[in-house]
Amino acid sequence: MAKDFIGYQALTDSALRGVVRDALRRIEKSGLIGAHHFYLTFKTHAEGVDIPEFLKEQYPDEMTIIIQHQYWALKVKDDYFEVTLTFKKLPAPLHIPFNALTAFFDPGVQFGLQFRAEGDGVPKPATGPVMVPTDPPEASESEAPDPVAAKPAPTGEKPGEVVSLDSFRKK
């Protein structure tokens, strides 16, 4: 195989992170509409991530936040977003670079993207990020107001496996 001097993987990854950025910009301006809400998973110790220390201790590798009913001060910039969520009834500001994201899911329309966090030491697949057509993890009633969700349940696929979208298209 020939060497990729253009860097298609990085270009694809950047473009798909732009989808997340643009979706967040839309709700920054007009709020969530209809059934839309977002599950955003990110590496808690990635460069530029700024979250309260108790969250880093509770989620030492990866954390999923939910932007749905109770979020404040959403600010979306080119390289990161900021949002305030409540944890244990206390407001907590979060600063998350888009490069720290590992997954994005909008269960209202069954749309998702999965990424490799930059600098995670795992080679990226040659075909780019994977579309994720699965449901998010279900939260129990006692956890429902907490915007942190557990890691998504295994879907039976091997980690890092690229899924063809053709298998999900209606014939």
Task: Check: CB of residue 39 under 8 Å from CB of residue 105.
Answer: yes
Reduced to 3 states, what is the DSSP secondary structure of residue 43? strand
Task: Check: CB of residue 55 under 8 Å from CB of residue 87.
Answer: yes
The pLDDT tens digits for 102-116 are 999 999 899 999 886
Q: How far apart are CA 4 and CA 20, in angstroms?
A: 26
**Which residues on neighbouring strands pair with residue 85, listed in sequence order?**
92
Residue 112 host element (H or E): strand 111-114
Top CATH class, 8-150 = mainly beta
Q: Which pair of structure tokens corresponds to residue 19?
A: 């989808």
* pLDDT of residue 44 exceeding 50: yes
Closest CA to 89 of 116, 70, 74: 70
Q: How far apart are CA 109 and CA 33, in angstroms?
A: 12
pTM here is 0.68
The pLDDT tens digits for 74-126 are 999 999 999 999 988 889 999 999 999 999 999 989 999 988 655 544 434 33
pLDDT of residue 30: 87
Confidence of residue 165 (pLDDT cuts 50, 70, 90): low
Q: How far apart are CA 105 and CA 39, in angstroms?
A: 5
What's the whole-number mean pLDDT along residues 145-163? 46
